[in-house]
């Protein structure tokens, strides 16, 4: 029987019941619902709805239920209860009889469901932060090993200037650091308890909601009951965080897919994260990375879906809000899984140092160096840029790199060029010159790795 059966003389149509019920997805909130119920029972003692003895009995039964759902959460799915709140209440009544029927005094599923989900979000944020930190750590470890692995850096996917594999790793480290900070910001705003807001107008029992909030580990209680039961900003923020995080992971995946291509051959992915073709025996496909790249679609889709669902809803609670959960669960599960996969890919990736260096030497990625050299000899940059452009065309025609041109050949483009140009054109010099903060010079990269290690140790 539904919790609200008294008002109805006909049973719900089975198809409507299936359409309306949320147990098949909100069963994941069982622990939070029980913990919220324990706190609520304490509040009911403070307003003399429950005696201390009654509350002790309820807490004992709720704790037993907690252990049982922790042990086997899927048992919940065998029930035909409408949602997790109904299920917990039903189980409680089975255990303690009529006393269980007192627990819902002054409470509504409207404040209960948003409280449960906020509690779930708080622990999920911690899990996401540790998964991101794990990947940040893998990136720093990889960077540490590859401080001397020179490779081409790209703009427009054209070889632009040499970088190191370490510097590439640290770029993703920065993105992931921002992802953590976004989650922390979200956590600060969502850490406010709606419990005790009733259905919409507040609970009729004069309890201390701040104290109730603190029992649940929230920083404070919400200020307005209408807002409390209908606010889903935290869902939107988390979906936004997940979308940005997935955009980062998709770029990471795409870079590695390119590096792993037969054309680039900079890296080799392990057999543990690749798969074969049913037709072409030679193939080893970067499926883990392609799925990471692909799954960003469903996460951004969840954000868009939730935005549209919440748009234009009148205050306060409407059943539309039940739609918050599936979007969120799917998006955050996906994000967690992709973070884990990205770390796995990185764990035993092989970097082909020789091939990376060879590619860095090609593509005239030291052309900027020659221009800077001319500037140092007194030629205005715009003019130097033009001269080097001509030198590149000349070198291409001779199928040579700039540093392979003889001094005579180079002098044909500008008479100020001398023998001291050759060391300037080396890869080592290209890297060392970029020594301002955030640049690719070995010293800067070393410092960035040390800073990252220090951040991760906190």
Q: Active-site residues: which are they? A: 156, 277
β-bridge pairing 192-193 and 220-221: parallel
Q: 62 or 229, CB closer to ligand ARG?
A: 229
Counting contacts by CB under 6 A, is residue 230 touching ligand ARG?
Answer: no
Nearest by Cα to 249 from 346, 338, 165: 338
Q: Measured from the CB of residue 268, what is the shortest distance to ligand ARG in angstroms?
A: 48
Site for ligand ARG in 234-293 (CB under 6 A): none
DSSP 3-state assignment of 192? strand
Binding mask 113-142 for ligand ARG (x = CB under 6 A): x-----------------------------
Q: 109 or 293, CB closer to ligand ARG?
A: 109
Q: Measured from the CB of residue 232, what is the shortest distance to ligand ARG in angstroms?
A: 10
d(CA 435, CA 433): 5
Size of the site for ligand ARG (CB under 6 A): 9
Q: Give strand ranges (E) for 191-290.
A: 192-193, 220-221, 267-268
Q: Measured from the CB of residue 455, what is the shortest distance to ligand ARG in angstroms?
A: 38
* Options 106-114, 132-140, 148-156, 367-375: segment touching ligand ARG (CB under 6 A): 106-114
Counting contacts by CB under 6 A, is residue 109 touching ligand ARG?
Answer: yes
Q: Measured from the CB of residue 347, what is the shortest distance to ligand ARG in angstroms?
A: 39
Q: 179 or 330, CB closer to ligand ARG?
A: 330
Counting contacts by CB under 6 A, is residue 110 touching ligand ARG?
Answer: yes
Counting contacts by CB under 6 A, is residue 225 touching ligand ARG?
Answer: no
Site for ligand ARG in 3-22 (CB under 6 A): 22
Distance from the first to the final alpha carbon of the chain:
52
Q: In the block, which residue shows the tokens 């019941």?
A: 17
Q: Residue 379: which residues within 8 A CB-CB, separation 6 or more?
A: 387, 414, 416
Six token digits for residue 2: 């539904």
Residue 53's CB: how many other CB atoms inside 10 A? 10
Q: Measured from the CB of residue 54, what is the shortest distance to ligand ARG in angstroms?
A: 25
Q: 90 or 274, CB closer to ligand ARG?
A: 90
221 backbone dihedrals φ, ψ, rounded to 5°: -100, 155
Q: 213 or 328, CB closer to ligand ARG?
A: 328
CB-based burial of residue 44 (10 Å sphere; 0-12 exposed, 13-18 middle, 19+ buried)?
A: buried
Do you know the residue count of the chain?
A: 458
The helix-helix angle for 84-96 and 109-145 (nearest 10°) equals 110
414 backbone dihedrals φ, ψ, rounded to 5°: -160, 130
Counting contacts by CB under 6 A, is residue 321 touching ligand ARG?
Answer: yes
Nearest by Cα to 331 from 251, 240, 254: 240
Site for ligand ARG in 382-411 (CB under 6 A): none
Q: 321 or 345, CB closer to ligand ARG?
A: 321
Nearest by Cα to 322 from 332, 331, 313: 313
Counting contacts by CB under 6 A, is residue 327 touching ligand ARG?
Answer: no
Counting contacts by CB under 6 A, is residue 322 touching ligand ARG?
Answer: yes
Q: 200 or 401, CB closer to ligand ARG?
A: 200
What dihedral angle (degrees, nearest 10) is formed by the CA atoms of 160, 165, 169, 171? -20
d(CA 357, CA 372): 22
Buried b (16+ CB within 10 A) or exposed e, 202-230: bbebebebeebbebbebeebbeebeebbb
* Options 73-81, 156-164, 252-260, 314-322: segment touching ligand ARG (CB under 6 A): 314-322
d(CA 170, CA 295): 23
Counting contacts by CB under 6 A, is residue 32 touching ligand ARG?
Answer: no
Q: 32 or 113, CB closer to ligand ARG?
A: 113
Q: Say which DSSP state 275 is in.
A: B
Q: Measured from the CB of residue 433, what is the shortest distance to ligand ARG in angstroms?
A: 59
d(CA 132, CA 124): 12
Residue 291's CB: how many other CB atoms inside 10 A? 14
* Options 64-72, 264-272, 317-325, 356-364: segment touching ligand ARG (CB under 6 A): 317-325
C-alpha torsion sign, points 268, 272, 273, 274: positive
* Options 47-55, 109-117, 363-371, 443-451: segment touching ligand ARG (CB under 6 A): 109-117
Residue 5's CB: how many other CB atoms inside 10 A? 10
Counting contacts by CB under 6 A, is residue 83 touching ligand ARG?
Answer: yes
Q: Measured from the CB of residue 138, what is the shortest distance to ligand ARG in angstroms?
A: 37
* Options 105-113, 216-224, 231-239, 358-366: segment touching ligand ARG (CB under 6 A): 105-113
Can you give the binding site for ligand ARG, defined by CB under 6 A? 22, 26, 83, 109-110, 113, 317, 321-322
């Amino acid at each position: 029987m539904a919790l609200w059966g008294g008002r109805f003389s006909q049973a719900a149509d089975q198809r409507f019941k299936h359409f309306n019920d949320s147990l098949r997805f909100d069963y994941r909130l069982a622990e939070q619902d029980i913990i919220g119920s324990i706190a609520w029972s304490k509040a009911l003692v403070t307003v003399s709805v429950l005696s201390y003895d009654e509350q002790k009995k309820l807490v004992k039964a709720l704790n037993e239920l907690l252990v049982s759902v922790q042990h086997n959460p899927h048992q919940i799915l065998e029930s035909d209860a409408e949602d997790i709140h109904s299920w917990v209440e039903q189980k409680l009544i089975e255990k303690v009889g009529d006393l269980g029927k007192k627990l819902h005094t002054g409470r509504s599923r409207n404040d209960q469901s948003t409280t449960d989900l906020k509690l779930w979000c708080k622990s999920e944020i911690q899990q996401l932060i540790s998964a991101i930190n794990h990947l940040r750590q893998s990136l720093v470890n990889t960077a540490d090993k590859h401080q001397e692995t020179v490779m081409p850096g790209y703009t427009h996917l054209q070889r632009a200037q040499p970088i190191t594999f370490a510097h590439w790793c640290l770029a993703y480290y920065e993105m992931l650091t921002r992802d953590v900070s976004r989650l922390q910001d979200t956590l600060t705003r969502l850490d406010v308890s709606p419990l005790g807001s009733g259905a919409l107008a507040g609970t009729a029992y004069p309890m201390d909601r701040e104290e109730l909030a603190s029992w649940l580990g929230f920083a404070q209680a919400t200020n307005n009951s209408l807002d409390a039961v209908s606010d889903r900003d935290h869902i939107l923020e988390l979906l936004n965080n997940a979308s940005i995080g997935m955009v980062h992971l998709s770029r990471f995946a795409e870079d590695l897919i390119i590096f792993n291509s037969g054309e680039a051959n900079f890296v080799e992915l392990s057999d543990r994260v690749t798969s074969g073709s049913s037709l072409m025996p030679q193939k080893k496909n970067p499926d883990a990375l392609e799925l990471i790249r692909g799954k960003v679609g469903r996460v951004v889709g969840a954000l868009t879906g939730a935005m549209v669902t919440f748009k234009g809803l009148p205050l306060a609670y409407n059943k539309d809000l039940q739609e918050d959960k599936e979007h969120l669960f799917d998006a955050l599960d996906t994000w967690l899984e992709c973070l884990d996969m990205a770390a796995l890919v990185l764990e035993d990736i092989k970097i082909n140092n020789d091939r990376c260096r060879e590619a860095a030497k090609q593509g005239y990625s030291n052309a900027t160096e020659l221009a800077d050299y001319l500037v140092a000899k007194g030629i205005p940059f715009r003019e130097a840029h033009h001269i080097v452009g001509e030198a590149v065309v000349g070198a291409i025609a001779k199928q040579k790199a700039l540093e392979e041109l003889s001094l005579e050949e180079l002098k044909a483009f500008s008479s100020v060029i001398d023998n001291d140009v050759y060391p300037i054109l080396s890869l080592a010099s290209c890297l060392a010159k970029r020594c301002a903060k955030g640049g690719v010079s070995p010293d800067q990269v070393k410092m960035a790795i040390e800073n990252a290690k220090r951040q991760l140790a906190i």
